[in-house]
Structure formats: C-alpha cells, structure tokens
Amino acid sequence: MTDNAALKSALDVMLQDENGDFTYSNEKALFGYLDIGLRMPRFAGRVYAEPPNFDVNTLGNVNAATNYMDAGATAIRAASAYIPALPTAGSNGDGSLNRANKLRLEFTKVALMNFRYLKVNNPTMTDDDAMLVSHLRARWVVLGAFYNTAASRIVTYDEVVDIPVNDPAYVDIHTLANPAQLDTTGANAAYNNAFIAYITANKDFTPFVVKYAETIWQISEFVFRVRGHHYKTAHDNLIDKAWTSVSEGNIPWPARFSKEHAFRTAIHPFGVKALPIMAYKWLAYGKMGNGLILRLSGAPNGFAAITTAAAGIKVLASETWYTELRSKYKEQLETIEKMATLILNQKYNYHLSARLYGATVIRTLNIDGKTYTMSEADQIVGAIAPIIQGFIEWAKDRLKASPNSVFSFGNARVLEKRAATNPLMAERMKEILEYTVQAIVNAKSTREAIDQVFVVEAEDKTAT
C-alpha cells in the first residue's frame, strides 16, 4: 500500500510548531511558516545559475557594498554566471532542444507548476497575483536563488516541495517537451488556458517581471533586515519609499499586484539566508539601484534603539549648543556611538534572526574592553532617549506644515517608550530647538541670522 501524500504532508506539519520546526525558537518566530510554498519539478539535471559562495558574516560589514562594486564585482562575475550556462544540446536525454529552449522549458515548468498550485489552493487569489508570484519564483530559481535552500529545504515545513514525476496533478507539466505546446484540452486545461490567456492579454507583464524581479527581492531583503518580517501592512510606506528610490518616482507600484504576495508569498520559501546572498550577487552585476545600495547600510532588526539614538546624535552634533550637551553626557554618547558602529559592521550577526541567515549569533557589545549585555546597553540608551525623542517630535511637528519635506526619522518610534521615563527632558529639548529656529527668524539681518546658526552668543555661554 502506498502512502497517501496529502495525509503524510498534513501529519508532518502537525508534528511541528507554527514556525515549521520541531524545536521552538524565538528567533524562528519572526520567520514563521507559509503554506503557499515553492513547487519544484524534479528534473534529471537542473541548469540554474549558482550564486557565489558568500559568507553572510562578511556581508554585514559596512564596506561590503563597496567590496562588491569594485574588484569584488569582477571576481564574482568571473566565478558565477548571471544567466546560467546551459549544457550542450543532447545532454540529459533532451537532444531535441537547443540550449535556450531547455532553459525556457524549465522556467515554464516552475512558473506553471506554481501558478496551478496557487490557484487550486487559494481560490481567492487573483490571476494577477498568481502569475506574478509564479513568475517571480521561476525567475529567481533560474538566477540561482534556489541553490541557497536546495540541500535542506525540500521538506514540507520548509515550504519547498519537490514534485515527483508521477504526481497526477502535475504529470502534464513533467512530460512537457516544448514550452510553447501546453495542453489546452486535458484535465488541467483550465489552468493552462488561464496561464496562456494572461500572457497573451498582458503584454507588459513579462517585461515587468524581467525588469523588477531583482528589485522586488532587494526590497524584501531590506525590509526583513530592518523589520524582521517579509511583509506587514505597516511596511507599505517603507516599501513605497524604497520602490520610489529605484524608479525615481516614475513608475508607481502597479495596483493590480498585491504587495503582500509580491514581497512575502513569492519570496518566503527561498529562506532568509538567500536574501543577502542574492542581493549582493546582483549588486556585483550592477543590478541594484542607488537607492537600494544606500539601504544596504540599514540597521538590523532588534537594535534600532541604539542605531537610532546614534543617528540622532550625529544630527544634533551640528548644533551650536551641542558641545554643552556632550560635556554633560560624554560617556553615554561616546558609548552609544561605538555600539552603533559595532552593530552596523555586523548587521546579520546582531539581527534577531541571525541563525536563519546562517550567521554567527552575537548578543553582547564589547566597547573599550567592557562587555555590555543588551539590557545594559538599553539602560545607556535610556539616559539620552528623551533628548533624541524630543528632537524627533519637534521635527515631526515642524514638518507637518511642509508635507512634501523629507525627514529620515519620520517613522522612528523605537525611542518613545524609553523617552517616556523622562518626558520633561524631551519637552525641554523641543523648546531648545524651537528657540534656535526663532532666533534665526527674528534676526534683523542676514549676518545676525548666520551668527545664530554658527556662533554661540556670549549671553548663552555665560548663562547658568
């Protein structure tokens, strides 16, 4: 008697926790399990591109982006093809296909198999979303993303399912010999016809996937790194800004495609480790927009309080009264700045999901020979959090009158709770900032205004 595949799959899942593992982990809780996994046809020999052998521990370095744009890019291009080098015609028993057609056939099988699975198991999913997810997955597989997960992830709880050739739901896909000759009359004709009809009717679809598949992946890498999730509705603004930075505002996100499916459903099965590896490979090939290159420096999820505080300190350092502030909080400010530098130089190691990246987990901060636990670091941040939060709140209030202005701290909320321990200090900081602006506004001459910006007045120096 043969196993009932559906029952076996269900039982396998029932033995796990919701994160797709037999051992619960708070770090895995961020990743979770998604029951819309990648379907992979079982080929005699796959011809996908292989990604470079990156050590994720080094990709978190502040200089990583520069390394893979200069000499490192040349080395990666020499060692790892962008579009895979196909075997010669006649290999793997498919002598009837030339090199290009073989790759086209495998792409079609991955796309069609995933389109069918998505439509069967998610009847409310639109054809737009099912086509986008299936084609993004197929393109990412062809470009090498699957190799990051292949050895250990073809299991139900890891969302990658290798479909055997005798699976009745997909047998026509396995036996497909020519991507242009889909069965339009058999048992699965409805899905094949919908697939063909969509491609035929939407001439802009294929160019969109080809142009933006890498960008969608890179934005997903950024969002997961800084937020710890692939997608939540709260991330829409973050995604929109990243998308706009790449398209220069000329191409809004197409309304017919769900962001949740594009940035979560499509990419989730490939695993967290694949996110930076593929992003940096594409960087090396010049396939990353400047806006996303800048975002490679974004701080890891879980340590935003430290890095936000350090960024706020850097902004305030330009103020004429900053010397007085630093004299009172010199030790705390210097320690926070050094902590932020350490975190930003090992982004994936300090990420709350470091293990999912395959990175060495680091949860302490060694500054000038002293080791700080995260709770100790949080106490230091708490001492100056009201100052930085006061600046953030003041700036947000000022910018309400200028809706088109950009403020890099516009979404920063991580210091709110810490600042709540001393709300009076936050209010005092807002008053100081307002005073400095009003002093410029009330200046009687340009020279006096400049003095207010760059020179500490004598009365302010002596006032105590």
CA–CA distance from 189 to each of 133, 182, 192, 212, 391 (Å)? 20, 9, 5, 30, 61
241 alpha carbon, distance to own chain's centre: 13
Pairwise CA distance, residues 387 & 415, whole Å:
10
pLDDT of residue 6: 57
Q: Are strands 160-163 and 365-367 parallel, antiparallel or unpaired?
A: unpaired
CA–CA distance from 321 to each of 82, 393, 395, 463 (Å)? 53, 19, 17, 12
pLDDT of residue 390: 76
Percent of the chain predicted with pLDDT > 70: 71
User: Which secondary-structure segment (H or E) carries 365?
Assistant: strand 365-367
Q: Which residues of the chain have pLDDT under 50?
A: 1-2, 44-45, 87-95, 151-156, 405-407, 410, 455-464
Please name the residues in contact with 432: beta carbons below 8 A apart, sequence gap of 6 or more. Answer: 321
Q: For residue range 354-413, what is the model confidence (pLDDT) as tens digits?
A: 988 889 999 999 999 999 998 899 888 888 878 778 777 777 666 665 555 444 554 555
Burial of 9 (0-12, 13-18, 19+ CB in 10 A): middle
Strands (E), 90-159: none
The 3-class SS string of 169-204 reads CCHHHHCCCCCCCCCCCCCCHHHHHHHHHHHHHCCC
Nearest CA-CA partner of 113 in 156, 162, 150, 148: 162
Helix (H, G, I), strand (E, B) or coil at 432: helix
Burial of 432 (0-12, 13-18, 19+ CB in 10 A): middle
Strands (E), 243-328: none
pLDDT of residue 302: 84
Cβ–Cβ under 8 Å, residues 228 and 30: yes
pLDDT of residue 90: 46
226 alpha carbon, distance to own chain's centre: 7
User: Which secondary-structure segment (H or E) carries 354?
Assistant: helix 354-357
pLDDT of residue 44: 45
pLDDT of residue 462: 40
